[in-house]
Structure 1
Amino acid sequence: MTDRLSIALAQMNPTVGAVTANRDRIRAARAEAAARGADLLVCPELALSGCPPQDLLRTSAFLTQVDQALRDLAADTADGGPALLVGAPWREQGQLTNAALLFDQGAIAAVRLRVSAPDHDDLDESRLFAAGPLPGPVNLRGVRLGLLLGQDLRNPEVSETLSESGAEILVALNAAPFAIDAADERQQAAIARVIESGLPLLHVNLVGGQDSWVFDGASFALEADGRLAAHAPSFAEHLLLTRWERGANDGWFCHEAETLPPLDGLAAVYGALVLGLRDHVNKGHAPGALVDLAGDAASALVAAIAVDALGADRVHAVTTPAPDSAPEELADAAEIAALLGCRFDTLPIQPITRAFDSLLAPVFSGRDAEDATDTLHARTRGVTLTALAETIGAVALSTLTKTDRLIGSPALVKSLFGGYAVLADAPQSMALALARWRNAHSPADGRGPAGRVVPERVLARSEAIRATPGVNDRDRLPPADALDALLDRLTGEKPSVGADSVPSLGQDADMVNRVWRLMQATEAMRRQSPPGPRITQRTAGHAPRFPLHNGVTTIA
């Protein structure tokens, strides 16, 4: 029996499917842990495969690669260095499971399977992984560790079984995506397990962007009384070393660790957007990003996030003026690019739009063609940006917000040609708040300039438009804050809308029904829009799904 144990938590950023590269990343973390005197290195849930692996798990060649990499890592531990605890897909009795494997002294010392299916299965895991039985602890050099995998952290039955079976320390391996307030909820769930069991707990979380998910890291350790013993940073790879000693009554306490405060509020949201964009571009091996600056706050914010994520030398800003573009908007676009230090070009689309106007004038004559003209101009911008992005190999960034995505706008039409929608889950009101936050702060790990990056007049003009009913849409619509609150209700993020709740929103039934119909009419385009990082706690991603055609015309 040992009275001292050093446990390192490897908060790492794997790439889905890059099994060999992920194995080597784990090896590098183990080498660092060994140099710092760790007895055990703990890697996150699905660290070897990357997360979410989705239907790669149905590919036998991929699973064979995972199996070989697991054997390689097990063999590494024959060197007498730290034991290794790794999350990976694992085939058990003909079923595919989500597993934690303990390697020590050159062999697989133990395997434990995830018991609990996620309550909200955004990562599609219930369809792909079979559940395991309630586990007992694993033995590491005389210390009994109770392993919690993924959603098991929120299941008191799992920790109770481990405690009753003699576990001395709980260790949670997680791949939990970022959402506003989610990190705090994870920590509260861990505290509940600690208080129930009377055992200390270590929690390691994945970090990095993958498709519409951003994993925020923010790994931590808790003492047996629930006090915070250690904390890793948000949105960055980190090796968190904790040293534990056996105290009175054979209980364990942490006597050495570091505590780095996590990000919260708008800083956390901005950090998630930066990391999501950085990994989308880098993991896709693109040389950079392309953004269309329209002289508004949303496009300026997207450009700022891109520069913070990639550096100014990898961001190409353009403006695509049409006949109705205001001169001050073009001047503002140029100033935004100058503040960020990125390349800026003007690509006038007037010759193309005039040709379309001439072509369609006989058909449009005597008809209300305003909507069709706006849509045509937006598509022209989108096609132009796509052609340029494909030529230079960059990712074309959409500048639409969540509000645009839900109710439709020329921004949504243009976004259909984009590769990544940075603000797809950020409402208009939040985008404005983020732009003001960025003017006042330099984000952690940001590669852009300090200080103001969005001109004040751009913010003021965008806020005036969003605050004035009827200006942000030819149909009458509420101001931005009220519209976003109503959309929360209509999409199910808040309690559903009904006749009784309409007065509490400050909107009449006609307005609620108008917004509802706009949402329904936008469904087909919404399904075609590009992916973007999720930042809100939805049960099925960041966009609602409605039937393309349905007979519900009133909701209130």
Structure 2
Amino acid sequence: MTDKLTIALAQMNQRVGDLPSNAAAMLEMRRRATGADLLMCPELQLTGYPPEDLILKPEFVRRVHECTDELVAATTEPGPAMLIGTVIAEGSAVYNAFILAQGGKVIGRTLKRELPNYGTFDEKRVFTPGPLPEPIDYMGAKLGVPICEDIWQEVVCAHLADAGAEILLVPNGSPYELDKDETRYHLVRSRTIQTGLPIVYLNRVGGQDELVFDGSSFVIHPDGERVVQFCDWNEELIVTDWERTVEGWRCMTRESHIVDTFPEDVYQAMIVGLRDYVGRNGFPGVILGLSGGIDSALSAAIAVDALGPDKVCGVMLPSKYTSEESLADARECARLLGCRHDVVSIAPAVTAVAEMLPEMSALAAENVQARLRMVALMALSNSGGQMLLTTGNKSEMSVGYATLYGDMAGGYSVLKDAYKTTVFALSKWRNHKRPEGALGPDGPVMPERVITKPPSAELRPDQKDEDSLPPYSVLDRVLEGLVDKELSVREVAAATGADVALVADIETKLLRAEYKRRQAPPGVKIGNRNFGRDRRYPISNFFHTGPK
């Protein structure tokens, strides 16, 4: 029985479905962890997370088994034993699993018992729940390995503690959300108190479609002390030293990083999400409509910070309603960011459509402008290969204040889950601080006037957003109640002080716009209820919570 253990903890990025690259990255971490007894990687690190319906494809599962066998065989080479997150199929059952490999053999395993089936998670769709796991004996230490959701329920950790586990090693695929760091810490602390055991909470980093993983892994002792805190957003390998004391196993390593708080955490999530989405889908860069408004200015800043100014092209597409102020603001945004700035007037195309359809309504005439802008942007995207970045925010998308096949068109949206008030907060913050790792400039990234002027779509004379919508400070509080908290109209009115009739009208707009949102591009999830897999409402829906 040993009284000392050295556990290397690898906070890693991933590529879903890229088994060879993920395996090679784990073996590289093993090489770097020379001298450690054990290397631990995040949940399903071999397959990437979430693998979704790839798990339903027998050929995928077969290749995962082959790659797992190769990783196990690689542990015959000098180096630490490996805790490998993988998939195990037995008969018709497929499990989310962790195996402990040493000397070319599997010497222990855990099958995930608690399968999340809420929000963005669909694990019950593709996996079979495992039995209550037993501790794995390694070098005389009994290691409990509850996998991600296993720690969110009391039963698994309690069972492992009762079965004699001495350390809980928790591999995770936990996506970023606002305030998630504190939620995780309080949850894990409650498990340490419940079990009396130290816990390693190991998470991953990087973007996967709409999800962003922030890392922020940590080690906590039963007294609640967080003795090791990883960085957020970046890959990191920390080798931790453990000793058996009279109180049980304790981590002797001390390391601390300050994790980002609002609004920097949201901004970093957007950078990571866009960077990995563009890179993994093979785009050479992005193109976007740069209107002189705050949404496009912030989207451009995030794109430059994520990809670099040479991979971002902003295009101003003026009509006869575009103000000189907007032309100047768009030009200045591009100058401050150092990115390309083109101007393509849509006026000739607007005239041509008006001649072709002389009896179209005023609303249709407004929407034609938005759609012609997207025709031009998509033509430029096709010509150069850049992905079209959509710039709409969550407030607009909530109430349908967006044009289908117009400003909603594109390949990705960094602002999709950001309410307008969050857009203002992010813009003000970025104008005064350059985030760590950003590829954009120091100093302001947009003129101050872009932040202070009243928002406008500029599709008709003297148009302002508040002609059609309540002030965003009111609208966003109502939407947070209706969308994020799923409150009724009367409950939202009571909580916000807004008029019941106003809240009911906003709810009606919210429900009527569902068909538009189903056709919107993916975008970075930052809250607990994004428009996508978090919130699955029927398009044809006749239930309202407002007054009858």
**TM-score of Structure 1 vs Structure 2, range by shorter chain:** over 0.9
Question: How do 1:294-443 and structure 2 match up within 5 A?
Answer: 294-361=291-358, 363-364=359-360, 369-410=361-402, 413-443=405-435
Q: Deviations over 1:149-175 (max 9, x none)?
A: 010111221111111111111000000
What does residue 39 of structure 1 align with? Answer: 37
Corresponding residue of 1:480: 472
SS of the residue corresponding to residue 291 of structure 1 reads strand
String of CA shifts for 1:449-491, please: whole Å, max 9, x gaps: 11110210110104699xxxx931543x321011011112222
Quote the residue 1:117 is aligned against.
115
Distance in 2 between residues matched to 1:513 and 1:389, nearest whole Å: 40
For residue 33 of structure 2, give the secondary structure of its aligned residue in structure 1.
helix
| 1:201 alignment counterpart | 199
Contact in 2 for aligned 1:224/1:253 (Cα 8 Å): no
Conserved? CA contact 2:492–2:503, under 8 Å: no
Letter in 2 for 1:168: E
- Equivalent position amino acid for 2:25 in 1: R
1:207/1:500 Cα in 2 relative to 1: closer, same or farther (>3 Å)? closer
> Is the CA contact 1:425–1:542 (under 8 Å) kept in the aligned structure 2?
no
Residue 264 of structure 2: which of 267, 270, 274 is its match?
267
Question: Is 1:91–2:82 an aligned residue pair?
Answer: no
For the structure 1 residues 424 and 501, does the alpha-carbon distance in structure 2 shift closer, same or farther, using more than 3 Å as the test? closer
Give the AA of the match of 1:397: L
Answer whether contact 1:296 1:462 (CA < 8 A) is retained: no
SS of alignment partner, residue 404 of structure 1 = helix
1:131 pairs with 2:120: no
Q: How many residues align?
A: 542
- The answer (yes or no) to whether the contact 1:415–1:421 under 8 Å persists in 2 is no
Residue correspondence of structure 1 range 424-463 to structure 2 within 5 A: 424-462=416-454
CA change 1:544–1:481 in 2 (3 A) is farther
What residue number does 1:255 align with?
A: 252
* Distance of 2:382 and 2:354 partners within structure 1: 27
d(CA) in 2 for partners of 1:545, 1:353: 37
Distance 1:553 1:135, change over 3 A: closer
Residue 429 of structure 1 aligns with an amino acid whose one-letter code is: T
Q: Select which of 504, 507, 511 maps to 2:502.
A: 511
RMSD: 1.9
Query: Which shifted more, 419-428 or 495-504?
Result: 495-504
**Matched residue, 1:143:** 141
Aligned residue identity for 1:33? A
2:29 aligns with 29
Task: Tell me how far 1:417 sits from its aligned partner.
Answer: 2.2
CA offset digits 1:231-287 (Å, max 9, x no partner): 1111111112211111125x1112124221211211111110100000000111211
Write the letter of the residue equivalent to 1:403.
Answer: S
Q: 1:231 touches 1:240 (CA, 8 Å); kept in 2?
A: no
Local SS of the residue matching 2:107: strand
Q: Secondary structure at the match of 1:102?
A: strand
Q: Aligned AA for 2:383?
A: T
Which has the larger displacement, 408-417 or 103-112? 408-417
Matched to 2:12, the amino acid is M
- What secondary structure does 2:44 align onto? coil
Assess, with a 3 A threshold, how the Cα gap between structure 1 residues 485 and 501 changes in structure 2: closer, same or farther: closer
Amino acid corresponding to residue 58 of structure 1 in structure 2: L
SS at match of 1:487: helix
SS where residue 139 of structure 1 aligns? strand
The CA deviation string for residues 192-228 of structure 1, in whole angstroms up to 9 with x for no partner, is: 1111111111111111111111111111111232210
Return the TM-score normalized by structure 1: 0.94
TM-score using structure 2 length: 0.95
8 Å CA contact 1:97–1:131 kept in 2: the answer is yes
Distance change in 2, residues 1:192/1:345 (3 Å):
same
2:2 aligned partner, one-letter code: T
Show the counterpart of 2:460. Answer: none
Using the TM superposition, give the Cα deviation of residue 359 of structure 1 relative to its aligned residue in structure 2, in angstroms.
Answer: 1.4
1:2 aligns with 2:2: yes
Percent identity, please: 38
Amino acid at match of 1:316: C
**C-alpha deviation, 1:415, in angstroms:** 3.8
- What is the deviation of 1:411? 5.6
Shift of 1:78: 0.9
Q: 1:414 to 1:461 in 2, by over 3 A?
A: same
Give SS of 2:473's match.
Answer: helix
Deviation at 1:511, TM superposition (A): 1.5
Equivalents in 2 of 1:496, 1:553: separation in Å?
A: 11
The equivalent residue for 1:523 is 514
Q: Do structure 1's residue 243 and structure 2's residue 279 form an aligned pair?
A: no
Is the Cα contact below 8 Å between 2:16 and 2:48 reproduced in 1?
A: yes
Are the aligned partners of 1:11 and 1:207 in contact in 2 as well (CA < 8 Å)?
yes
Q: Provide structure 2 residue ranges, at least 5 long, that are not aligned to the other structure.
A: 458-462
Give every structure 1 segment of 4 or more consecutive aligned residues whose post-TM-superposition deviation is greater than 6 Å: none
Alpha carbons 1:415, 1:530 under 8 Å: kept: no
Shift of the 176–553 alpha-carbon distance from structure 1 to 2, 3 Å rule, reads closer
Confirm or deny: 8 A CA contact 2:367 2:403 kept in the other structure. Answer: no
Helix, strand or coil: the match of 1:224? coil
Residue 531 of structure 1 aligns with an amino acid whose one-letter code is P
Kept after mapping to 2: 8 A contact 1:178/1:215: yes
Q: CA contact under 8 A between 2:455 and 2:465: conserved in structure 1?
A: no
Task: Return the alpha-carbon distance in structure 1 between the equivalents of residues 450 and 32 of structure 2.
Answer: 47
Structure 1 unaligned blocks of 5 or more: none
1:201–1:408 CA distance, 2 compared to 1 (3 A): same
Shift in Å, 1:142: 1.6
| Equivalent residue letter for 2:451 | L
Q: 2:103, 2:85 → 1: CA distance? A: 18
Cα offset, 1:501, TM superposition? 4.8
